[in-house]
Chains A and B, each alone.
Chain A
Amino acid sequence: MGKALRPTRWLTLLYLLPGLAVYSFVVLVPILSAFRYSFYSWTGGPRRSFIGLDNYVEIMRDHVFWHSFLNNGLMTVYGLIGQVGLAFLFALFLLSRAVRFKALHRTISFFPSTLAPIIIAFLWTLIYNYNYGLLNEGLKLLGLERLAQSWLDLSGPIVLLVSIPLSWQNIGFYTLLMLAGLSAINKEVLEVAELDGATGFRKAWYVIIPLAKPTLMVASLLCIANNMRGFEHIYAMTGGGPGNASSVMALYAYDTSFLRFRYGYGSALAIAIMALTLLIILLSAFALQRKRSTDGGVS
């Protein structure tokens, strides 16, 4: 670029500073201060007492926290199947000549992902409701009335039950992501594959999946990140219940701080959540990357 168009150093700073300032204030400063508070016992009053690593020692022994962590993990697995997996299938369908009303499917299935998570959670609380729920009503219509339940009170499958609304809301988004990735695949490659006799399932497995790997990887990482940070749906649907059966890490940190007023411990939990989440994202990025290169370098 020509010299006349170079801004001075001061102008550069002036333009970039507002963004960096607001971003740092809400992202970096809280992380640093949480790190500091995590060494204190603090209930929000003026008195803070330094307790060293005690909060972290407590986290190591905190069954509810680790249970919540496992729930995040379980939700991630359900998410990978219910969001990335199904979305991939739907995207393949939507690319096939056989499927009709493509625009309609795309438009309607993306709509739920534009709604507030809190509203989705209320809607599904109604769907799962014992007396007034669509789910039990549907079972009644199918003559399966004996299966009717107060669904959100079941502690056994509760994580699956709260994962379904999450998937339902997000499938449309992942489908679009896949469609974008898949339509970038060279059409000629697919035609050659078809001429070679690869159709339907074989075409999907041997040709499309390897070519779509970058898209699948991005979608999987996004899905992992989103499920590790899940909060609103659980907060509004079950509040972590019954008992702590559906608790997730962010909700547990919220409860600890805002219901039990343990800000020091809550801050330590925030640091732990951050560390665990980043670790999992990095590990899965590494694993997916490695898998890709051992598969013969198709990218």
Chain B
Amino acid sequence: MELRAELATERESPNLMRFGKKLVMNGIMLLFTASCIFPLLWLGYSSLKTQAEFSNSIISLPGKLHFENYVEAIKLTNMPQLSLNSIRVTAISVVLIVLIAFITGYFVARLQFKGKRLMVIYYLFGLLVPIHALLVPVYLLFKETGLADHWYTLVIPYVAFNLSMPILLVSSYVTGIPKEIEEAAAIDGLSFSRTMFMIIMPMAAPVLTTVAILQFFACWNEFSFALVLLKDASMRTVPLGMSYFKSQYSTNYPQLMAGMVLSMLPVTIMYFAFSSRIIAGVMAGAVKG
């Protein structure tokens, strides 16, 4: 009885109701998407205004494009140096993460060895540890061992804190590769190491690419450990350099915005170049992780 009543109302005014619902749902989504992109566009076009123009009307488009803000921001932040440091730290970290996660993930997926379960739990623990609680102890450790303030300093925490998830992703991906492939390789006389690196690693390329892209973002954007482990200005990464720039020159808003746009540029290009791949990778990771 109840069911019939419900169906009847659906039939009475289906078009109007459906249209209204459609409008609301699309409206909410469009509003949200706009709220995601508008502040960033605002940042982009405001960075091309003069300071007077900006304080006159913060929301209007620039009359003439002032690229001077960018020239100044590059000079004041020492952006080339910051970028070089960030690129170096990120590149080395990502390569090491992919390599270690591949080897460890492969061992977890394919081999039985003593302490395997314990090792997996140990790595999983890394997902739960509140890493920012470790800022102080990691700082003390790096100070005592003299590891702070070098060009390689940040590689150590970046690799360590970004191993857990990639290991899980790789091992679940490798589990899906048929075992016969390794058996065939063994019959052909390939050693264990050659099979792992020359046969399986290329086959795991999709998951390794996902790991590399996601860890690129994680390492490039990291701020906290850079903040506590680097005192030397010449070692600063982009996010760290930006925080000093902001506290020192925050009165000239368009210039600050130009600096922010510059610091976002590599990630933005990377994202919009590979967005469908990144999204597919995150979704695959979400299902498997």
A residues at B contact (CB < 8 Å):
1-2, 4-7, 9, 11-12, 15-16, 18-20, 22-23, 25-27, 29-31, 33-34, 37, 90, 93-94, 96, 98-101, 103-112, 114-119, 122-123, 126-127, 131-134, 137, 168, 171-173, 176-177, 179-181, 184, 196-197, 199-200, 218, 225, 228-232, 235-236, 249-250, 253-254, 257-258, 263, 266-267, 269-270, 273-274, 277-278, 281
Chain B residues within 8 Å of A199, by CB: 10
The list of the 4 closest CB pairs from A to B, nearest first, reads A30-B137, A116-B221, A26-B160, A250-B132
Interface membership of B111, Cβ < 8 A: yes
Q: Check B140–A19 contact: CB distance below 8 A.
A: no
Taken together as a complex, chains A and B put the C-alpha atoms of A119 and B185 apart, in Å, by 49
Of A110, A218, A269, chain B has the most CB atoms within 10 Å of the CB of A110
Which of the residues B21, B42, B157 comes within 8 Å of A98, measured between beta carbons? B21
Determine whether the beta carbon of A197 is less than 8 Å from that of B253: no
In-complex Cβ contact of B137 among A1, A33, A235, A236 (8 A): A33
Assess whether B110 is in contact with A1, with CB atoms less than 8 Å apart.
Answer: yes
Say whether B62 faces chain A, with CB atoms less than 8 Å apart.
Answer: no
Q: Are A22 and B29 in contact (CB under 8 A)?
A: no
Residues of A within 8 A of B110 (CB): 1
- Bound Cα distance from A6 to B267, whole angstroms: 41
CB-defined A-B contacts under 8 Å, sample of 25 = A5-B183, A9-B113, A19-B100, A20-B119, A27-B161, A33-B137, A34-B140, A37-B140, A98-B18, A98-B26, A101-B30, A105-B32, A111-B275, A114-B278, A118-B242, A123-B43, A171-B32, A176-B286, A180-B282, A180-B287, A181-B286, A250-B132, A257-B135, A269-B136, A270-B137
A interface footprint on B178-217 (CB within 8 Å = 1, 0 otherwise): 0100110110000011010000000000000000000001
Partner of B224, one of A23, A96, A137, A231: A231
**CB-contact partner of B26 in A100, A232, A267, under 8 A:** A100
How far is it, in angstroms, between the C-alpha of A83 and the C-alpha of B208 when the chains are bound? 28
Which chain B residues lie closer than 8 Å to A232 at the CB level? 223-224
Contact A104 B33 (CB under 8 A): yes
Contacts of A19 in B (CB 8 A): 100-101, 103-104, 163, 167
Which residues from A are CB-within-8-Å of B167? 19
Inter-chain contact B58/A132, CB cutoff 8 Å? yes
> Is B129 an interface residue, CB under 8 A from the partner?
yes
A134 to B161, CA, bound (A): 36
Cβ of B186 and Cβ of A116 under 8 Å apart? no
Task: Specify which of B129, B132, B223, B253 lies most central, judged by the most chain A CB atoms within 10 Å of its CB.
Answer: B132
- Number of inter-chain CB pairs below 8 Å: 281
Task: Decide: A122 and B36 in contact? CB cutoff 8 A.
Answer: no
CB atoms of A23 and B163 under 8 A apart = yes
**Chain B residues within an 8 Å CB radius of A33:** 137, 140-141
Give the distance to chain A from B43, nearest Cβ to Cβ, in Å: 6
Interfacial chain A residues near B279, Cβ < 8 Å: 106-107, 110, 176
Interface residues of B (CB under 8 A from A): 3, 6-7, 10, 18, 21-22, 25-26, 28-30, 32-33, 35-37, 39-40, 42-43, 54-55, 58-59, 100-101, 103-104, 107, 110-111, 113, 119, 122-123, 125-141, 156-157, 159-161, 163, 167, 179, 182-183, 185-186, 192-193, 195, 217, 220-224, 228, 238-239, 242-243, 246, 253, 256-257, 260, 263-264, 267-268, 270-272, 275-276, 278-279, 282-284, 286-287
Name which residue of chain A comes closest to B110, CB basis.
Answer: A1
Choose from B136, B138, B282, B283 the contact partner of A26 (Cβ within 8 Å). Answer: B138
Contact A23 to B123, CB < 8 A, known contacts A12-B107, A116-B263, A267-B137: yes
Contact of A274 among B42, B123, B133, B242 (CB under 8 A): B133
Closest B residue, CB atoms, query A97: B22
What separation, in Å, do the CA atoms of A270 and B132 have in the docked complex?
Answer: 9
B67 to A: closest C-beta gap in Å: 20
CA distance A106 to B37 in the complex (A): 12
Give CA–CA (A20, B141) in the complex, Å. Answer: 17
B253 closest partner in A (C-beta)? A132
Is the CB–CB distance between A184 and B287 below 8 Å? yes
Q: How far is the CA of A12 from the CA of B133 in the complex (A)?
A: 33
- Across the two chains, which residue of chain B brings its CB closest to A169? B36
B126 partner residues in chain A, CB cutoff 8 A: 23, 27
Q: Given the complex, which residues of B lie within 8 Å of A180, measured CB to CB?
A: 282-284, 286-287
A299 to chain B, nearest CB (A): 15
How distant is the Cα of A106 from the Cα of B279 in the complex, in angstroms? Answer: 8
Contact residue among B223, B267, B270 (Cβ-Cβ distance under 8 Å from A118): B223
Which residue, of B29, B58, B127, B243, has the highest number of chain A Cβ atoms within 10 A? B29
Q: Quick check: A258 and B228 within 8 Å, CB to CB?
A: yes
Contacts beyond the supplied A25-B160, A273-B132: 13 A-B pairs with Cβ under 8 Å: A16-B107, A19-B163, A23-B123, A27-B126, A33-B137, A111-B275, A127-B39, A225-B130, A229-B132, A236-B243, A258-B136, A270-B137, A274-B129
Cβ-defined contact, B267 with A229, below 8 A:
no
Q: Give the residue name and chain of the B residue nearest to A274 (CB).
A: B133
Which chain A positions have C-beta within 8 A of B276?
A: 103, 107
- Nearest CB in chain B to that of A230: its residue: B132
B136 touches A34 (CB 8 A): yes
Q: Given A33-B141, A177-B286, A231-B132, decide whether A16 and B104 contact each other with a Cβ distance below 8 A.
A: yes
